[in-house]
Chains A and B, each alone.
Chain A
């Protein structure tokens, strides 16, 4: 019997998964690990098995269940069974109904219709960057404002509130945030959106939240607390993730001029580069926790009802069975089958929007600022080693 690893694990290198991932994947495939509260869970590490777990109803996403594996110490103690569920914490039959209510906002066609406006936002931010001082913090000037402006406009949330919800969502995703502080951050976001949505109820405007009020009322299923929960989810998921991908990808391109030259020479390569960056960094990793609710065999291991499972998407995305030379960054490899957006019925709702934002940023940033360079050594950059969503706190750049 090998030693039992502690999970979740932090990255020791910003460009690679924690070393234990490869060992588990190659030696055990499915392994028992210890969680912060002392309980045990299974980790599933191979691409095929991660896909299987995430698309199997025997593995529940319902975080209200008392046995659900918690990745932060003390989280179970502050769990409220009456908590309003969001899309990520629902199972069928509740989940498909709730997801379908908002799905129309995120189709490939609807996302494409936002392209011109996203391009405009990106250009405005780069204009501002170029007229400001050098070096500049790319996170503050570009990575955060772009997805933040996009999701605020889409939802109908005033951008002036971005500092507020940025602070709260940072508290939500830092693993070191004490449970009570995390609960307070959620409560503050809930109060803010509750007030905003209440105002929209009188005469629902033509924004995502307004359209949801309208549609759900027509269906006779409108409840403000549920829409508040949806709003929080979209706000947090919609800016923190894309922001970190912008920063990390910029570092990856700048330290690998050959890969950068490929997209500069031919922008039709950029969309594939986006998926390769998503695979390479897999910034949301152990978020894909599940609770087994019916005995199931995964990768030859029997998992029993009541046991927790972590589907390690980052391990899956570096599985040599699915990707040749998985630790190499290769924008031309064809990485679309990565699981950085998850898999199964919970696969990221905003993935097409995220892809488009990243594509526009990559194509615009390196074209408009061809001399862009890091203003610090990669070793000195403040990576978010402690966050549930990996990324960078700051990224000093010059040109």
Chain B
């Protein structure tokens, strides 16, 4: 799996950080930071949840 974030779309709601704090963070302005772009099998489900919850649909994964 590969996670891609589109920071132009990001609205800084923080849903991804709440859902998968090991994979995502926010910079000081609230914009998404992908900490782990290629999560291990154990984190794939939470990565998918974060992608689904993103209100701006700024995240995608394969």
Contact = CB atoms under 8 A, between A and B. Distances in A.
B53 A107 contact: no
Given A100-B30, A108-B21, A341-B13, 16 more contacts: A55-B56, A103-B12, A103-B29, A103-B30, A107-B12, A107-B17, A107-B26, A108-B26, A336-B15, A337-B52, A341-B55, A344-B11, A347-B15, A351-B14, A352-B18, A355-B18
A106 B56 contact: no
A125 B21 CA distance: 32
A376 B14 CA distance: 39
Those 4 A-B pairs whose CB atoms lie nearest each other, nearest first: A103-B30, A347-B55, A103-B12, A108-B17
A353 to B, nearest CB: 10
A55 B57 contact: yes
Given A99-B12, A107-B26, A336 B19 contact: yes
Given A107-B14, A351-B14, A337 B30 contact: no
Sorting the interface of chain B by its residue count into under 10, 10 to 19, 20 to 34 or 35 or more gives 20 to 34
B61 interface: no
In this complex, which of A96, A107, A336 has the most chain B Cβ atoms within 10 angstroms of its Cβ?
Answer: A107
Given A96-B11, A108-B18, A344 B26 contact: no
B4 interface: no
B1 interface: no
Chain B at the A interface: mostly helix, strand, loop or mixed?
Answer: loop
Nearest to A347: B55
26 contacts: A100-B30, A100-B31, A103-B11, A103-B12, A103-B30, A103-B31, A104-B29, A104-B30, A106-B30, A107-B14, A107-B28, A109-B17, A109-B25, A336-B15, A336-B49, A336-B53, A341-B13, A342-B55, A344-B11, A344-B56, A345-B11, A345-B56, A347-B11, A347-B55, A347-B56, A352-B14
Interface of B: 11-15, 17-19, 21, 25-26, 28-31, 49, 52-53, 55-57
A108 B33 CA distance: 13
Nearest to A54: B55
Interface in A53-111: 54-55, 96, 99-100, 103-104, 106-109, 111
Chain A at the B interface: mostly helix, strand, loop or mixed?
Answer: helix
A347 B13 contact: yes
B2 to A, nearest CB: 23
A325 B12 CA distance: 31
Interface residues of A, number: 25
Contacts of A106: 12, 14, 30
Contacts of B15: 336, 347
A100 B49 contact: no
A298 B56 CA distance: 18
Contact of A104 (B11, B18, B21, B28): B28
Contacts of B29: 100, 103-104
A337 B51 CA distance: 11
Nearest to A100: B29
Contacts of A100: 12, 29-31
Contacts of A96: 11
A343 interface: yes
B59 to A, nearest CB: 13
A269 to B, nearest CB: 16
Nearest to A99: B11
B8 to A, nearest CB: 9
B52 to A, nearest CB: 7
A272 B4 CA distance: 27
A100 B11 CA distance: 8
Nearest to B14: A108
B46 to A, nearest CB: 11
Contact of B13 (A54, A104, A109, A351): A351
